[in-house]
Structure formats: structure tokens, C-alpha cells
Chains A and B, each alone.
Chain A
């Protein structure tokens, strides 16, 4: 197999994984696929797909500017590939954005409902317009292939005539939105780390985008040349790297000047995660490329040139990731929620990139993006297949590729889909918060989750002094028990519970009952199970005749779903207090606040940082259908 085919095979595998992740994202939502939360709503998809993608596509306007505006005609041979990269990059940005938007079908709202005060509005419009411009800029390459079709050749003529205005428009739009992506973060000086937040963030973004554009063209050109075993344009890339030196120096001065003038220099030499990230980013972005590009001996070696450009690309993408989420103080400090992208997020991003790459290879192979097309695989003289029993002949390269790639895609999709566990599909939801027994004797301390903030409940007073029937609160007993306590059935602070446990009743280790001891034997699964479960199921009372205490008035058992502990307590206490208030006019005067919060909770609750509602749930990894309580 040739290099390019091996590479394409890998891309198809990634695409298969991404498709599985994408389907899960659209069916089961963002909560099921990402690690994003309310405190970190922007994550990897915004940082890499959108901000990184837009910056990576900057090569298009930079090369177009050098070629058409500054008259550096030597860049003409790489300009088509650069524009194609930019076009596909922006398509990838839009596709990636669709995954991240909560309501992707509302993406057109920006066109109708204007909000001129928002930088995001400007970014949206510019990306939309620039995508159109790039499409028109690249269109001639496709139309060239059909010189015989009258209409298409006419369009081709028009497009070549308006090329210069298009290029100018493209540069203008790029300038606007490359910087506006930085403006988005101007609103959060207290959220973004001081080494990154700056009033000149738009300028920093724009300058770094130009640097990235130049280095990305080098990387893209050298990679595709390597894959297609073709001579890369060493001369032109050398020139590009020399231009990049000045820009990188300017970026370095800008960055450090800004930090020092703002007075944020103190953060430069701290032992903290943010500072390490900053130095890593700068080393990748500026120092490594500068050293390689300045020393002619290193620059002339393709390996080093590639290393320098690649490190620059990684550095500036890291910059976008840092600004987009990694260095937000919610992420860096202990009190916030830590965000790291889930493998589904990463795979969708990788899938979008590989889709763009496959499209790039398609255009390279079928249209004259380069001066000379790569060798057509099918034009090779047919080799006689070897008749070997261990070797399956799949046909000429193109057909064989088709078979192999689609097979890899299907298997990768299946494996990824298998790995997306029920946990993902059912979203993370709430963590379980077990409830503990109320302590005390005559006075009970009701503190279900033992967080130190409880209610003192005068148990004896309610029973002996004001003669509330026991059954008012102890409304149900567990089998063979008396005065079953609240926490035994209401066993989660915030979630509904299951007082029956169907699994336990059917399991061999538990009650070991067969289905028809509770469900009617002559039942037709096809029909009666559908709506009327209650009619064909035995009530609990048939087997357990000691469930109701003697003094309970209403002896009906409708459901085995129990309320959460907090809900059960509040419902019981507040309702009863309200009833008493309504019935007793004397009590209304002596204790007017009987049904208010402050009656039971004299002190306001204190926030405890350790207590987290939203944490990862790690149980039920393999179970597809957890018992859903309806």
C-alpha cells in the first residue's frame, strides 16, 4: 500500500468513530457526549474546531494577499492549495460548530435577528461571507475541468475577472473576524488568566493568525508532498519562513510588551499551571520556530523546517485552546469545575478534520490544484493478480481502496458505537446522595446527607403532646417491620427511589420468583402488557400483608417510586403545618410562622464547597437500559 492510501485508511477509521459519536450527540444531546457544564459551557469544540479552525485557515488570505495584492507572483503555484485549505477549513469550522450549538437548526437566526453590539454576531457574519468568498475564489479550479459546457465556462470567465475584488474582500473579512474572535474574550477580564487577557487581544489574535497562516501553508504543502511522493516547493517555503521570522518577532514583542505594560509580569515566573501553559505555548509558537527559521543551516533541512512550522502551528492552536477554555479561572482554581474534553468530543473534532483532509485529497487528485496532478493510480499498467490462496485480489487500486476504506469505516463505527456505554446514552444526571438515619431520642436531628445542616425535630412533642397519629408520618412499613424509618425508603436526598426492587424479586439470589407469581399467567405479552400493567399485576399487599401500620387512614399503594428525602420531608411537614394553621385559629395567632421555612430552619444554610451535585457517575457501565422509573 502506498503512503497516501495508508493515511486515507486511518482517516476513514477516524471518520467512522466520529460518525458514531456524532449520532450519539444528536440523539442524546450535549450532556451525554461532552464534559461541558454550566460553569464551562465552551470547551474543546469552540477552542479547537472554531477558533483553531479559523486561525488554521488563515493561510488562504495571507497567500492570496502576497500573490494578488503585493505582486509576489512566485507564490502563485501554492496559492490554489492554500485557498483550498482555507475553504475546507471554514467548512470544517461550520460543521464543527453545528455539533457544539445546542439548537443547531437555529443557526440562521443570525441572518434575520441582528445584534450589532455582539462580537459573535460580527464573527458569524464574517465567517459566512468569507466562506462564500472562498467558494467563489476556488470555484474556477473546479470549473476549469468543464471547458465544453457553455454556462460553466461563462461563470468561470466572470469569476476570473472579479478575482482581485474577491481577494480584497476576503482579506478585509479575515481581518475583521480573526480579530473579533479575540474581542469575544474582552468581556471576561476576571475569568481569563491575566497572561492571556489583554485589551489588545484582537490585535494579538490577528497577528498570530497571520503567523499561523504562513506556517500552516508550509505544513500543509510539505505533508501533502510527502504523501504523494512529490518534490515540494523548497524555494517558496524558504521565503515564507523568512517572512514568518519578522512576524513572529513582532508577535513576541507584542505579547511581552503587552504583559509588562499591563503589569501582569508577576505571573510570568510563578509555579502554577497557568504559567507553565504560557511558557509551553510560547516555546511552541515562537522560540522553536524562530531558532529554526533564523539559522540558515537548519532552515535548509526539510525535516527541521517542517518541525519548526509544525511546532508553530501547535503553539498557536494551543493559544486558542488556552483562551477558549483551558486557562479560564473556573478551570484553573480549585473551587471551579475541572474541564477536560471527553473522548467523544475529541473524536468528533478529529472526524471533522479528517473529513476536510479527505476532501482535500479528493480535490488534489481530481482537479488541477497543483501545477501537475499526482499520478493517477488507475493509469498504472494492470498487474496480473497472483493466485495465492492466502491473498484476496480486490481489483485495481481504486476498487481495492473502496472496499478497504468502507470496511474500515464500518468496523470503526461499530466499535466506537459499542464503546459509547449506556452511561453516555443516559446522560450523567445527578450523583446519588445517600441518606443517613436521623439521630436522637425525644428530639431527632434530621440531617439526611450529614452535611451538618439539619433540622431539630421534636419527635416526642409531635407524638405525645399534640397527639399526631404515628401513621401520619410512618405511613408504610417494610415487610416484617414496625415503624420503619423515613430513610429506609426515601433513600436519596434529591432523587426518587425504588421501594420495591423488581430486580431483587426476580433474581435467583433474591426472592427468586418467576414472572407469573406476580403477573397473570395467561397474559398475552403482546397485548395486555402494553398499557394496563396494573390490571395484570398482583399488588404488593397480596403477599405482604403487614405493610400498613394500624393507624393509617388511607390504605392505597399506587406506585413503588418513592419521593426524594428532601421532597418527602418538606411535603409532609409543610402540608401538615398548613392544615393545622388553617384549622386552628388560636394557633394562627400564637405561631403565625408555623408553615414558613424559618420555623424549622432557624439559620440559613452555609454553602459547602465539597458538596457537588453534578459529579460524574461511574456505575452501570455496561447496562444499556437502566430501570427507568415512570
Chain B
């Protein structure tokens, strides 16, 4: 167990962290290049800028979605905030960074009760998201296996992290949970640039690239039935 933990926080962590950072950067640069190349080849060089801007902002700050799907939007926003802030601003993580590379952001880290509660909230938000995905027929029909798996995998480090921080005190159990925590974090990092989680870096670009390379009719997404000529048909 000790060896596995050391391996997970040592070589495996360095590998996964490097792959995540560089892999996400690679995706960003590749999609930028692809976007510009698409422009070079396209006969019609115009892009619907206003529409792209509106959609991108809509995805980044989904305030408008409250009108149609209030619960889902709220839970999703909470999940995202918790998912990003908790690990990033956790004091223990900042401490690890300062121990290994010499500088860190310990000054702005969260206090323990805030971090613990945020982790709990994130876990519950994740579970609610999973339930929402399971209960709705539409989302179930467009979900793949990995969509469910991802949600579960994302929640694992939060659960184990919370257990380590607030529940267990006995060393052997603590180390077991810590090992699961680090390992699941490593796997998330490794798979991040190669799966749908890459939306964290691709989101600002995705609408732009789509508008450049695919040339869909503006607002095709909202009026998909009308555009395809399948109005009034059953799902």
C-alpha cells in the first residue's frame, strides 16, 4: 500500500499532471490551427460573430438556461464551481506544491470548514446530476456508457478526500483512502485531454471552430427540427 501510494503521488502523478497540462494545451493549439485552416479553405469566409459570441457566453455563464431547465442549470453550476475551486484552493494541495516546487498559492487557500463543505456540496451535486441523467428519457437516450462512468469517477476523489480530511484518523485506513484519492485523481488527469472533459479548455473555441468549419445555419441547434424538416415528429 505504501509503495502504491508513493508511486501514485510520485511518478504517476508527475506523468498524469504533465499529460493533462500539455495535452489540454495541445488540443487548444490544434483546434486553433484547424480553425484557421478551415477559414483558408472555405469559399465563404464570413462567420456569424454575434451568434458565436452569444453561444460561447451562454455556455460559459449559463444564465439564460435557467429559464428552461432551472434545476439542472443550478446543480450543474454548483458542481462546476465546487469541482474547480475545491481541489485548486485546498490548503493541503497548495502545501504539496510549495514543498515540491518551492512556490504556491497558500495565501488564498480555503479554510478547512469551507473546503470540507464545498466538497460535500460537490459530491451531492454530482449525485443529483447522475440522477437527473438517469431519470430523463431524452438524456438517457443520448448518454453513452462513459458519460455515467465519468460522473462517478469525478466524484471519487471528492469522497475519498473528504473522508481523509474529516472522517478517518486511523493511519492505516487514512492511507488506504489517500491512495484511492490520489490514484483516481491521476486517472482523471490522464484521461482529461482525450475525453469529453477536454471541454474545460475547448469550450471558448468550440463554437468558433464549429462556425468556421461546419457552416451550420445560425441557430440551427435551437431549431433543429425545423432545419431538418422534421417538425411535429416523435422523438
Question: Could you give, for residues 393-432 of chain A, a 1 whenever the CB lies within 8 Å of some chain B CB and a 0 otherwise?
Answer: 0000001001100110111011101111110010000000
Take A403-B30, A514-B169, A622-B10 as given contacts and tell me if A410 and B23 are in contact as well, using a CB distance cutoff of 8 Å.
Answer: yes
CB contact between B22 and one of A414, A523, A527 (< 8 Å): that residue: A414
Does B179 count as interface, using CB distance less than 8 angstroms?
no
Q: Answer whether residue A101 sits at the interface, using C-beta atoms and an 8 A cutoff.
A: no
> For the complex, what is the distance from the CA of A545 to the CA of B30, rounded to whole Å?
65
Interface residues of B in 109-144 (CB under 8 A from A): 109-115
Q: Does B19 contact A (CB under 8 A)?
A: yes
Query: Which residues of B are found within 8 Å of A399, using beta-carbon distances?
Result: 34, 37
| B15 and A628 form a contact (CB under 8 A) | no
Q: How far is the CA of A527 from the CA of B92 in the complex (A)?
A: 11
Do residues B10 and A623 form an inter-chain contact, with CB atoms below 8 A? yes
Q: Which of B7, B33, B171 contacts A507 (CB 8 A)?
A: B171
Q: Are B100 and A624 interface neighbours, CB within 8 A?
A: yes
Expressed in whole angstroms, the minimum distance between the Cβ of B195 and any Cβ of chain A is 14
Does A20 touch B at the CB level, under 8 Å?
yes
Tell me whether A624 and B10 are in contact (CB under 8 A).
Answer: yes
Is B85 part of the binding interface, using a Cβ–Cβ cutoff of 8 Å? no
A421 to B15, CA, bound (A): 11
Q: Please measure, in the bound complex, the distance between the C-alpha atom of A235 and the C-alpha atom of B54, giving whole angstroms.
A: 65
Option from B13, B110, B170 in Cβ contact (under 8 Å) with A624: B13
A residues less than 8 Å from B114 (CB atoms)? 526
Q: Is B14's beta carbon under 8 Å from chain A?
A: yes
CA distance A503 to B171 in the complex (A): 11
Q: Does B96 contact A (CB under 8 A)?
A: yes
- Which residues of the other chain, A, contact B26 by a CB distance below 8 angstroms? 406-407, 409-410
A622 touching B171, Cβ below 8 Å: no
Select which of A413, A419, A425, A530 is within 8 A of B100 by beta carbon: A425
Q: Which chain B residues lie closer than 8 Å to A425 at the CB level?
A: 100
Q: What per-residue 1/0 map shows which CB atoms of B147-191 lie under 8 Å from chain A?
A: 000000000000000000100011110110000000000000000
For B15, list chain A residues within 8 Å (CB). Answer: 414-415, 417-418
CB distance from B164 to the nearest CB of A (A): 11
Residues in B neighbouring A20, C-beta threshold 8 A? 18
Kindly state the separation between the CA atoms of A628 and B9 in the bound complex, as whole angstroms. Answer: 17
Q: Using a Cβ–Cβ cut-off of 8 Å, how many residues does chain B contribute to the interface with A?
A: 43
Instruction: Indicate with 1 or 0, residue by residue over B12-30, a CB within 8 angstroms of chain A CB atoms.
Output: 1111101100110010011
How far is it, in angstroms, between the C-alpha of A512 and the C-alpha of B171 when the chains are bound?
Answer: 7
CB contact under 8 A between A413 and B22, given known A525-B91, A622-B6, A628-B99? yes
Residues of chain B lying within 8 A (CB to CB) of residue A624: 6, 9-10, 13-14, 100
Tell me how far the C-beta of B27 lies from the nearest C-beta in chain A, rounded to whole angstroms: 9
Tell whether A500 is near chain B: CB-to-CB under 8 Å.
Answer: no
Chain A, residues 452-470, CB within 8 Å of chain B (1/0): the string is: 0000000000000000000
Query: Known contacts being A407-B26, A623-B6, is A417 close to B171, with CB within 8 Å?
Result: no
User: What are the residues of chain A within 8 A of B165 when measuring CB–CB?
Assistant: 525
Q: Complex Cα distance A513/B170, Å?
A: 7
Cα–Cα, bound, A237→B4 (Å): 58
What CA separation (Å) do A360 and B231 show in the bound complex? 58
User: A527–B19 contact, CB under 8 A?
Assistant: no
Distance in angstroms between the alpha carbons of A508 and B91 in the assembled complex: 25
> What 1/0 mask marks residues of chain A from 352 to 370 whose CB sits below 8 Å from any chain B CB?
0000000000000000000
- For residue A515, CB closer than 8 A to chain B, the reply is yes
B35 to chain A, nearest CB (A): 12
Are A410 and B22 in touch, CB under 8 angstroms? yes
In angstroms, Cα B13 to Cα A414, docked, is: 10
Are A418 and B171 closer than 8 Å at their CB atoms? no
- A421 to B114: give the CA distance in the assembly, Å: 34
CA distance A507 to B169 in the complex (A): 12
By a CB distance below 8 angstroms, the chain B residues around A261 are: none
Interface readout for B64-107 with A: 1 if CB under 8 Å, 0 if not? 00000000000000000000000000011000100111000010
Of the candidates A418, A421, A506, the one whose C-beta lies within 8 Å of that of B18 is A418
Kindly provide the distance from the CB of A574 to the nearest chain B CB, expressed in whole angstroms: 35
Which residues of chain A come closer than 8 Å to B11, judged between CB atoms? 418-419, 421, 622
How far does the alpha carbon of A136 sit from the alpha carbon of B214 in the complex, in Å? 44
B101/A27 in contact, CB under 8 A: yes
Interface residues in A592-630 (C-beta closer than 8 Å to B):
622-625, 628
**Chain A contacts of B19 at CB under 8 A?**
410-411, 413-414
Query: Is A7 interfacial (CB-CB < 8 Å)?
Result: no
Quote the shortest CB–CB distance from B110 to chain A (angstroms).
Answer: 6
The answer to whether A622 touches B7 (Cβ under 8 A) is yes
B22 cross-chain contacts in A, Cβ below 8 A:
409-410, 413-414
Minimum CB–CB distance from B79 to chain A (whole Å) comes to: 22
Determine the chain B residues whose CB is within 8 A of the CB of A403 once the complex forms. 30
A418 to B190, CA, bound (A): 13
- Counting CB contacts under 8 A, is B3 at the interface? yes
A421 to B23 alpha-carbon distance, docked (Å)? 22
Task: Report A520-558 CB contacts with B as 1/0, cut-off 8 Å.
Answer: 000111110110000000000000000000000000000
Partner of A524, one of B99, B100, B113: B113
Whether A402 contacts B30 by the Cβ 8 Å rule is yes
**11 residue pairs A–B, Cβ–Cβ below 8 Å:** A406-B29, A410-B22, A410-B193, A414-B14, A414-B16, A507-B171, A514-B171, A530-B106, A622-B6, A623-B6, A625-B96
Which residues of B pack against A, CB within 8 Å? Answer: 3, 6-7, 9-16, 18-19, 22-23, 26, 29-30, 33-34, 37, 91-92, 96, 99-101, 106, 109-115, 165, 169-172, 174-175, 193
Extra pairs beyond A414-B14, A417-B15 (6, CB < 8 Å)? A406-B30, A410-B22, A526-B111, A527-B112, A622-B6, A622-B7
